[in-house]
Structure 1
């Protein structure tokens, strides 16, 4: 793969372009906002212009709701021989692309599992994807060449390609990304009702728990809307567990003398479950690789 175009020069698109530049490929940068493309180019991410001939691969770094229409538009104009995207939802965009009549033999869905709470080209990093999973969800009609180029893109960016079914991917990110973001945002929103004397006591634990809530609200509305069914499943189960914890706390509040009653046991069980769940990712580097020895803090 020698030529690449990146459509959408936000955090992810510009980070991909910077990673490719470090590997000797100069991407063409396209964006509906010309200033964003020029900013990315000014960072050394590529050239803000339309290629004269089709490139090998076009990366569609646009929100989930725009993937299908962007793919249709860029295939019609002949931007590239093959296409991939980087959106964090896969079922809906691929279904919509099929409905629009896109050539899915030349398209491979993709999702690099990396990001930051900041957005825009100025937040981009050339090593954002190093060691991280890069999920590929080729449709049944995806051609071998397109799959090969999407896989090469992930590796050029320092990521670890992982092939999944679209629905499997969406269920996974609902658990490990989308629902956590929503919960962090709801928790952070409670701070708006806090008094200054309360907020000044905030420590690192609260900052860690709400860090991702600083992400772009509009983008995350699009992500959550596009993966709503999978998020509902996870959130419904979480709501049930919250209700159990709430009931236990109410029991303890109303009968504080019954410290060893069922309410205390249920609360302990909920906390212990959290300890076990946290342990499943404690020994993993960001991206899922297991750490060992000193690297895992043991």
Structure 2
């Protein structure tokens, strides 16, 4: 594969274009908003020039409701030999593609499981897909060459291919992506009119839960509209769990000892279920989850401090598996939480303290 057309230069389309141009492919950019395409081109994602003939692959990077219409137009123009879309919902677009009479032999649905809370070409990153799952949902008549082109695209972007049925994909993303987005927004909405004193107490927990609440509402309306029923089913189940949890919390306030014990058992049960579910989330590079321990270091708000800390940790031969920064409200310090292998915790803690770092116990 040498030439690609990206139709839709938002976050996902532009990120794919950046990844492909870095690998030496010639990428042509299209968008209903010419300014968006020009912005992507200015970032080095490709060219807005029309290709001389059919490109090898066209990537349809538009909202789910537009996939069928845009694919039909691209195929009518003979834009490419093979086609894929990267919409986050697959069943609806596939039904529309079939209803419009599109060529499904040379088309395969796909969905890179990557994104950011920001949208648009300026939020794009060439490494957005590295190490991330990229789902492929072939139709019954998708041919081998089309599947191979999609697999090559996934490899060029550094992602991991997963072949799934379209309906199974939609159920899965409703659980791991769409419902969490709404839940994050619901929690963040509680902060909108909260007392300023309460908001200033926000720590890393609420920051983690509400991070994706900063996402673009219009974009998510498009996504959720295409998968609304499945997401509603999951939220109904979550609502039932919330109801049981509220009942358990109320029981903890009663004078009856038996009811308090029942309430405590209910809270412990939901927490343990959460422990079990969280433990199933894959670790780095999709590997089985690994338990790391955290070393928390106080970090001053001066240029170069974070780099100096990372440099000293690297010099000790300790690999940082993950990192989080917790800011201290109203103070010029923060806490850097370094996730490392359990065997390295004691050695790292002692060495950092010897080098003058303040490490929290």
TM-score with structure 2 length normalisation? Answer: 0.79
1: CA distance, partners of 2:276 / 2:341:
17
Q: Which residue of 2 aligns with 1:132?
A: 132
Structure number with higher relative contact order (C-alpha < 8 Å, ≥ 6 residues apart): 1
Following superposition of structure 1 onto structure 2, how do residues 100-115 of structure 1 map, counting pairs within 5 Å? 100-115=100-115
1:244 to 1:149, Cα distance in 2 relative to 1, 3 A: same
How far residue 6 of structure 1 moved from its aligned partner, in angstroms, is 0.2
How far residue 42 of structure 1 moved from its aligned partner, in angstroms, is 0.5
Q: Which residue of 1 aligns with 2:199?
A: 199
- Is 1:289 paired with 2:287? yes
Q: Which residue of 2 aligns with 1:82?
A: 82
Q: Which residue of 1 aligns with 2:175?
A: 175
Show structure 2 runs of 5+ residues with no match: 293-320, 322-339, 343-361
Following superposition of structure 1 onto structure 2, how do residues 150-165 of structure 1 map, counting pairs within 5 Å? 150-165=150-165
Following superposition of structure 1 onto structure 2, how do residues 239-278 of structure 1 map, counting pairs within 5 Å? 239-255=239-255, 260-278=260-278
Q: Kindly indicate whether the alpha-carbon contact (under 8 Å) linking 2:254 and 2:260 is maintained by their aligned counterparts in 1.
A: no
1:67 to 1:143, Cα distance in 2 relative to 1, 3 A: same
1: CA distance, partners of 2:104 / 2:195:
54
Structure 1 range deviating more: 168-177 or 247-256: 247-256
Q: Kindly indicate whether the alpha-carbon contact (under 8 Å) linking 1:89 and 1:170 is maintained by their aligned counterparts in 2.
A: yes
- Is 1:69 paired with 2:53? no
Provide the secondary structure at the position in 1 that maps to 2:118. coil
Provide the secondary structure at the position in 2 that maps to 1:27. strand
How far residue 9 of structure 1 moved from its aligned partner, in angstroms, is 0.6
Q: Kindly indicate whether the alpha-carbon contact (under 8 Å) linking 1:184 and 1:209 is maintained by their aligned counterparts in 2.
A: yes
Structure 1 range deviating more: 233-242 or 25-34: 233-242
Q: Which residue of 1 aligns with 2:222?
A: 222
How far residue 60 of structure 1 moved from its aligned partner, in angstroms, is 0.5
Q: Kindly indicate whether the alpha-carbon contact (under 8 Å) linking 1:26 and 1:45 is maintained by their aligned counterparts in 2.
A: no
Q: Deviations over 1:157-179 (max 9, x none)?
A: 00111100001111111111111
Count of equivalent residues: 296
Rg comparison, structure with higher value: 2
- Is 1:27 paired with 2:24? no
How far residue 292 of structure 1 moved from its aligned partner, in angstroms, is 5.0
How far residue 235 of structure 1 moved from its aligned partner, in angstroms, is 1.3
Provide the secondary structure at the position in 2 that maps to 1:269. helix
Following superposition of structure 1 onto structure 2, how do residues 1-80 of structure 1 map, counting pairs within 5 Å? 1-80=1-80
Q: Which residue of 1 aligns with 2:95?
A: 95
2: CA distance, partners of 1:70 / 1:88:
16
Provide the secondary structure at the position in 2 that maps to 1:136. strand
2: CA distance, partners of 1:297 / 1:273:
25
How far residue 259 of structure 1 moved from its aligned partner, in angstroms, is 7.3
2: CA distance, partners of 1:220 / 1:231:
12
Provide the secondary structure at the position in 1 that maps to 2:29. strand
Provide the secondary structure at the position in 2 that maps to 1:101. coil
Q: Deviations over 1:83-113 (max 9, x none)?
A: 0011110001001110111111111000001
Provide the secondary structure at the position in 2 that maps to 1:59. strand
1:106 to 1:188, Cα distance in 2 relative to 1, 3 A: same
2: CA distance, partners of 1:96 / 1:289:
36
1: CA distance, partners of 2:255 / 2:89:
46
2: CA distance, partners of 1:81 / 1:115:
27
2: CA distance, partners of 1:185 / 1:68:
30
- Is 1:237 paired with 2:237? yes
Q: Kindly indicate whether the alpha-carbon contact (under 8 Å) linking 1:252 and 1:258 is maintained by their aligned counterparts in 2.
A: no
How far residue 256 of structure 1 moved from its aligned partner, in angstroms, is 7.6
1: CA distance, partners of 2:18 / 2:280:
33
